Structure 1
Amino acid sequence: MAKRQSNQSTVGDVLKQIIQANKLQPGMDQIDVKEAWQNLMGNGVNSYTKNVALRGSTLYVELSSSVLREELSHGKSKIIAMINEELQREVIKDVVLR
């Protein structure tokens, strides 16, 4: 447990310190990426999305439609840019569509 600091901190700063101290960032990234996918892709794509997983810096997306998979494969760089912009940092470097 960290020592109590005498100066004042915001709740956000304290949460960041807890996440760093307990090495929770990969799990938080996993949750953030799933939420960003759902928000950015909309209901049409989400209805064909079976699973979204982040392993390292690669996003794995399992889709039930081969047509949609082919369509999205042409815009991988745009998907990476959109999700990283949504998260306000570079989390994803590659996308694998299955």
Structure 2
Amino acid sequence: MTKRESDSFSIKDLMGAFIKENKLEKGFQKIHIEEAWIKLMGPGIATYTNEVKLQNGTLIIRLNSSVLREELSYGKEKIITMINEEMGEEVVKKIMLV
């Protein structure tokens, strides 16, 4: 039998290393950004959201309510700050509400 190493790693650290080693960060950011949008905006806004997409630092939000689109346009900077804090890094530089 082989001897086990005494070093122990958390699953979070191992997954982080695996994601980084295989260059999967962008894909996980795209998944996490949608979860962050729903968490931060709440179920009320989430029901009017058709699509959340991250492209080259631009967060594209497709809404089916023109009134909500107008309201959210006033707080774009705050939304960018909140989402970047939730993501743990500066992922979003610009927001497009369509």
Decide: shared fold, TM above 0.5: yes
Other-structure match for 2:45: 45
SS at match of 1:15: helix
| Aligned mates of 2:57, 2:70 — CA distance in 1 | 22
Q: Structure 1 segments of 4 or more deviating over 6 A?
A: none
- Stretches of structure 2 that go unaligned for 5 or more consecutive residues are none
Q: Which structure has the bigger radius of gyration? A: 2
Pairwise CA distance, 1:9 = 2.5
CA change 1:55–1:43 in 2 (3 A) is: same
Mapped pair 1:96 → 2:96: yes
- TM-aligned CA deviation for residue 47 of structure 1: 1.1
* TM-score, scaled relative to structure 1: 0.88
CA drift of 1:79 comes to: 0.4
| CA drift at 1:7 | 4.2
Amino acid at match of 2:88: Q
1:21 is displaced (CA, Å) by 1.2
User: In the aligned structure 1, how far is the partner of 2:42 from the partner of 2:60?
Assistant: 18
1:1-98 matches, within 5 Å, as: 7-98=7-98
What CA RMSD, in Å, does the superposition of the two structures yield over aligned residues?
A: 1.5
- Aligned-partner Cα distance in 1 for 2:44–2:8: 46
2:96 is paired with a residue whose SS is strand
Q: Secondary structure at the match of 1:51?
A: strand
Provide the identity percentage: 48
Number of equivalences: 94
- Distance, in Å, in 2 between the alignment partners of 1:43 and 1:13 is 31
